Amino acid sequence: MTGYIGIDQGSHSSRAVLFNESGEILNTATQAIDLVTHGNHAEHDAQQLLESVKAVINQLFADLDPGTISSIKACGIATQRSTMLAWDSSGQALSPALSWRDTRAAEHVKSLAEQSADIHRLTGLPLAPYYSASKMRWLLEHNTDVSAHSEKDLRLSPLASFLLFNLLDEKPFLIDFSNAQRTQLFDVSLRDWSQRLCEGFGVDRKYLPACKPMCSPYGTLAGTDIPVTAVCGDQNAAIYGAGELDSRAALINLGSGAFVLRQLPKYIHSDSQLTGISYAEGHHVHYIREATVNGAGNALTWATSELGIRHDPETLNQWLSEVTEPPLFINTIGGLGTPWMRDDIPAGFVGEMNSSDAEQCVAILESIVFLVQMNLDLMISELSIDSLRVSGGLSQLDGLCQKLSSLSGLELVRSESAEATARGVAWLAAGRPEEWSSLATVEVFHPRDDTNLKQRYKRFQQELNYRLEN
C-alpha cells in the first residue's frame, strides 16, 4: 500500500485524512477550532490553530501501525484563504489570525476605490476587505505588538506560511501561488508579489514570504521523513476532490460559504467574478473562474443565533421535502459576494413574517441556491456548462441538491467523499494520479420541472436588485 495525507485547515476545524493510492479514506482525525466574532472583527487564536493541526497529525499517526506510517509517501496542506497574521522569525504569533470573514479594514479599502479596476485586473480579485492586504495594513497601523516589533524580524503572511514554518523541519518562509493571490498583493499574470500593489496597500514586500507553485517540494513534516509536496487554498483543493474537473463542468462547494468554481482554458479576466490559479507546477499553470456566496453554512448559523431556530441535517432534509411555499430571504450574511461585493445590504425576509421555523430555514437554503444560480448564469454567459458537481457539508441535503439541479436545468453529481478539500490536496501531493478520478458517486440529481421555484427565483432577483439600487 501507498498512502498520502491531506491536511485541511478550515474556519471551523482542522482535519487530517489518510488516503490510499486509489483515493480511498483509510483514517481521519478532526479537531474543532474557535472563531471569535464581534462587529466586523472575526479572528482565531493563531496558536490554537497551529496546535489543532499538530494534534490531528499526531492523532492520525497514533491510530496507525508502523508499517502503514512507513508507506506514506507525501502530504498536502490546504488552508482557509485570505486569513492572515503577523508573526516573527522564531514562529511566534504577534497577532490573532484575522479570518477571511474579517472586514475591519473596510475604510482603508474604500480609500483605494479609484484603483479598484487596476487592482482587479492585476490580482483577479475585486477590491474588497475580505482579502489579506488591507488586514495587513490594519495590523501595522492599529496593533501595537505589530507596529512596535522590529522590522527585521516582522512577518506578515497568509495562514499557510505560518503553519509551514511551524510544521516542517526546514522552517521555510514560503507561500504557494493560490494563497499568495488571496492577499490581493499578488500579480496573477507574473505569479509574484506586485511592488505597485504593495505600495498601494502600504505593505512592505520585505515582510512577505517567497512565492512557489502549489505543487513543489516545501520540506518535510517535523519528526518524519514525509515530504510536503502540495500547498494551496481550501477551494483550490476542493476543485480536485474527485480528481480532474471536466472543463465543461462546475463545482459547487457548500461549506461555511458557497463557492462556484470552473476550469478555464487560459487566463481570462472577469470584471464581475474572480480569476484564480487552481494548479501550478513548474511553468504549468491552470486557471479557474470563481464565484462566492458568503452566507451558506454561516446563514444557518445566523438562523440559530438570531432567530433561535434549532436544526440538524435530518431536520433540514425533512423541512426541504415538506415546505412547498417558503418566503423569500435576502441573504447578505457575511456581505454579498460576487458579482456585487457589497456589505451594506441588511439581511432579512421579504414582506410581513408569519412563517414557521421550517419555512424560514427553507427560505434561507433557497437563498443560497438563488445566489449560486445568479453566479452560474454569469459563468454560462462566458463559457457553457454541461453539468454540476457538488461537495461540502451542505451537499448532504438531498433537497438542496435537487433545487440546484432543477433551477439550473443541469445534471448534478454528488461525490462519494465529503472530504473534498483534504482529498484534493492529497491528490495534488500524490502527483495527480488518474485512478483517483474513478470514485463512485453517491447520487446523481436530474432536473425536475419546478415552476414555483423558478418563480421565486425571479422574485428574489427583482427584490435583491431593488435593494441594491435603493
pLDDT given for residue 301 in this prediction: 93
Task: Please determine, for residue 169, whether its predicted confidence score (pLDDT) is greater than 80.
Answer: yes
Task: Please determine, for residue 247, whether its predicted confidence score (pLDDT) is greater than 90.
Answer: no
- Three-class secondary structure assignment of 104-130: CCHHHHHCCHHHHHHHHHHHCCCCCCC
pLDDT given for residue 398 in this prediction: 95
Q: Where are the domains of the chain?
A: 3-236, 244-415+440-470
Of the CA atoms within 13 Å of residue 197, those in its CB half-sphere come to 31
Amino acid occupying residue 287: Y
DSSP symbol at 146 = H
The cell for 274 is 474572480
**CATH 3.30.420.40 given to domain 3-236:** yes
DSSP symbol at 134 = H
Helix and strand totals (H; E) in the chain: 16, 24
State the CB neighbour count (10 A cutoff) for residue 439: 16
pLDDT (tens digit, 9 = 90+) per residue, 219-231? 999 999 999 999 9
Contact call for residues 255 and 301 (beta carbons, < 8 A):
no
- Three-class secondary structure assignment of 9-33: ECCCEEEEEEEECCCCEEEEEEEEC
Roughly what angle, to the nearest 10 degrees, separates helices 357-382 and 313-322?
80
- With pLDDT > 70 as the criterion, what percentage of the chain qualifies? 98
pLDDT given for residue 243 in this prediction: 76
The average pLDDT across 15-34 equals: 94
Contact call for residues 75 and 5 (beta carbons, < 8 A):
yes
The average pLDDT across 274-285 equals: 89
The average pLDDT across 393-415 equals: 94
How high is the mean pLDDT of the chain? 93
Domains 3-236 and 244-415+440-470 are alike in CATH topology: yes
pLDDT given for residue 84 in this prediction: 98
More reliable by pLDDT, 246 or 165: 165
pLDDT given for residue 103 in this prediction: 92
pLDDT range class, residue 296, cuts 50, 70, 90: very high
Roughly what angle, to the nearest 10 degrees, separates helices 297-307 and 357-382?
150
Torsion of CA 396, 400, 403, 404, to 10 degrees: -70
Most confident segment among 100-109, 222-231, 236-245, 414-423: 222-231
Of the CA atoms within 13 Å of residue 422, those in its CB half-sphere come to 30
Rg (CA), the chain: 21
User: Given phi > 0 = left and psi -120 to 50 = alpha, else beta, which region is 82?
Assistant: left
Which stretch of 300-309, 331-340, 417-426, 460-469 has the lowest confidence by average pLDDT? 417-426
49 phi, psi to nearest 5 deg: -60, -50
Contact call for residues 409 and 270 (beta carbons, < 8 A):
no
State the CB neighbour count (10 A cutoff) for residue 30: 16
Give every strand in the sheet of 387-391, ordered side by side: 274-281, 284-293, 258-264, 249-254, 387-391, 411-415, 441-445
The cell for 103 is 472586514
Which stretch of 161-175, 194-208, 330-344 has the lowest confidence by average pLDDT? 330-344
What is d(CA 17, CA 7) in angstroms, rounded to the nearest whole number?
6
pLDDT (tens digit, 9 = 90+) per residue, 425-455? 999 999 999 877 666 567 899 999 999 999 9
pLDDT given for residue 437 in this prediction: 65
Distances (CA, A) of 155 to 92, 158, 159, 416: 10, 10, 11, 40
Say whether 442 sits in a helix, a strand or coil: strand
pLDDT given for residue 409 in this prediction: 97
Contact call for residues 406 and 371 (beta carbons, < 8 A):
no
pLDDT given for residue 447 in this prediction: 98
Say whether 178 sits in a helix, a strand or coil: helix
pTM of the full predicted structure? 0.89
| CATH of region 244-415+440-470, choose from 3.30.70.120, 3.30.390.50, 3.30.420.40, 3.30.360.10 | 3.30.420.40
pLDDT given for residue 434 in this prediction: 84
pLDDT given for residue 438 in this prediction: 62
What is d(CA 192, CA 323) in angstroms, rounded to the nearest whole number?
50
pLDDT (tens digit, 9 = 90+) per residue, 350-398? 987 789 999 999 999 999 999 999 999 999 999 899 999 998 889 999 9
pLDDT (tens digit, 9 = 90+) per residue, 139-163? 999 999 998 888 889 999 999 999 9
DSSP symbol at 65 = -
pLDDT given for residue 256 in this prediction: 86
User: Given phi > 0 = left and psi -120 to 50 = alpha, else beta, which region is 146?
Assistant: alpha
**Count of positions (residues) in the chain:** 470
What is d(CA 71, CA 69) in angstroms, rounded to the nearest whole number?
5
